[in-house]
């Protein structure tokens, strides 16, 4: 689980879960999650870092987890 702490990956996962919890439907959750994840990776690139596809995928996975929680609870 040490790879989750690398490059703030846990923040991508938690942020994705927050987006998924707040979305009204799956389409909105997926769309916003991918756009936000891509924007975070673009920000990393602009500040001299390398984009990390795992971060983007963790954001997307977090969105799905968050939406699934919302769907089960409601």
Going by C-beta distance under 8 Å and a sequence separation of 6 or more, which residues neighbour residue 61? 13, 16
Identify the pLDDT of residue 5: 67
Do 15 and 63 form a contact (C-beta atoms < 8 A)? no
The pLDDT tens digits for 13-58 are: 999 999 999 999 989 999 999 998 899 889 888 988 788 888 899 9
- pLDDT confidence bin for 1, thresholds 50/70/90: low
Identify the pLDDT of residue 59: 92
Going by C-beta distance under 8 Å and a sequence separation of 6 or more, which residues neighbour residue 10? 4
Helices (H) and strands (E) in the chain, counts: 4, 0
Rounded to a whole number of angstroms, the CA Rg of the chain reads 12
Please report, for the chain, the start and end positions of each structural domain, with discontinuous segments joined by +: 2-73
The pTM score is 0.84
């Amino acid at each position: 689980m040490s790879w989750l702490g690398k490059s703030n990956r846990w923040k991508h996962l938690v942020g994705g879960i927050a987006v998924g919890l707040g979305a009204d439907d799956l389409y909105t959750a997926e769309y916003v999650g991918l756009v936000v994840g891509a924007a975070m990776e673009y920000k990393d690139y602009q500040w001299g870092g390398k984009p990390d596809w795992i971060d983007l995928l963790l954001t997307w996975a977090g969105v799905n987890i968050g939406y699934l929680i919302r769907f089960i609870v409601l």
